[in-house]
Structure 1
């Protein structure tokens, strides 16, 4: 959510920031709605003051025996009383209208975010690892992983497309990946492990910006709850409507949870394989920090995600997203893209974002500095550390062998109970 005071102070800068996101100017409409609301509130305050003054004057007139004046004042007070509900209803309506305008607008990009309309404008920052040279033509995981236990047909019988049924060592490998990531983030990167709800209410989904804009990408239950599309929704909302002390910051939380997405806007994309699923596991990294610490925290968070890829020996590149390709709540984002030899391309496996105070304003989450009287909004950050299913795909494709087997990275051996290779079922 945007700070209306900043829009009042510099509407041109606000519109310029929106323009970088491909959004038409909005400040004129916002300021008009704001002016109308403030005028109404001024009128209400003046009416309340006059009502109080008239009420006091009634007693004075009665004390003087001036019944005529007293009756006139009573009529005036009654008129104010009749009008007040109308004014309060109008205020609620105008507040809601202004709120809806602001809620529909994305965060403004940071100054160092590159210009660009889409992924073509993203800037490569660094690469790690050398893609493996194969002595055979590497295949995409969807072509050989079913023989290893990544079963799409069984899942389709019960759930339809974009679900998978993992069996045997394949299922164990996915579980091992999640545990490995969680262990590494808690023991090395300083995140606190959390077990969160998988269902949240409207206000939580609004706080982390899934509502109202991305309603169609969510699954909703019959009683109005929302299945989380990422545990960012539950982790970040852990501090909603709180006033934290400065000593409590930074807060760093992580969770390994299933995530649920309808993928309403991705028809035709990655329909084969395990890249884009309705249900998947992910290790999420959330930070709550002081405003002056959020830029450094983004670098720290991204490094924590990079450490997983490096420990697994998976080549990747780090991309700084341009203004037009960032997520709705982000002011700056790094994507990590892992090399998939079957596709011959780098594909996103983690996205780490600094949201500034954008989510905090929607959640009303603040902190108080030591010795200060007022409160400030915190900054929130989130990132994947990592998406488990996509990491599984990366291992399958990067560690595949000519006979259809897949070597398991050494970092996972202690999690696999002695299994060091996935062998195809050739029977």
Structure 2
């Protein structure tokens, strides 16, 4: 049995916090009523949902009636994009997004292209930022939606959301942002940023898996994604997942109670991790912007070796990391994000994403640096691509 286990894949999922689980438990047992029922235990569930809705809306400076609960971030992305596309098709059929979006956005846009919609995929620079001038130039008379993620799930780059929102508002175009990675790491005011739709998922901020939400600004014209019931004000059919909604509400409340301390801690750990790796390992690249990135995100490429080999070796040492998005972990193809920022295939294949969370410590970081240094040296010694003369 491993004496030490260090989890550094918090961008894939986070452990549920004890306070969140405790808040959820009564709604599995004593308070089990269907929220649509008119008797008292149904009312308990209904009230719990509304309290959670208020907690979410408060975080974004939104109205409670603008928050709709879903099963996950991917459903929220699908609903935002398909719902806007179908509801506004008579006005236009052009959508703008970027080449580094999560596949929940990219695959949805590709699906809509088969339905006759037109999609512009914006380029990004070497750090993962879109070009605002290219965004402006891509807007057409029939553009109905701009969907740009708040922060990238692989390289942590935080996009210029305020500027994007301003452009969208001036042109009368709906603006959706996939904020799944940003929640709990960035303060967000949907009114200041001119965001019309925002996706989130609880398991990214110490809540349960299988529950998310979509913010829809009041007045936005959008079709439902799921039909068959009057739940969520006739916009999202299906009996509500009450315990998980309660968990999401509690998790987002906790996330924003101490967000400044959280960010300060994770930024300090991230800088320690990056410095440790650069001080001890040659031929390594940090992907994404050094400063305008999520506080806990560090993404590297190690030349001459494969990322999968690094991951397996780290796991044997009791360390969990990732080579990119958890949703594509079974793919042998290099990350579409790394290719989009200009990395060649052979370098993109050597990627490692380490994402820190509330439960990581400086000791964890130092241990990871120590083990990673040993692993990279061992793998390079076996690599025909590595020239020993280039080493130290």
TM range (shorter): under 0.3
Tell me which of the two structures has the higher relative contact order, counting C-alpha pairs closer than 8 angstroms and 6 or more residues apart. Answer: 2
Rg (Cα) greater in structure: 1
Per residue, is there more strand in 1 or in 2? 1
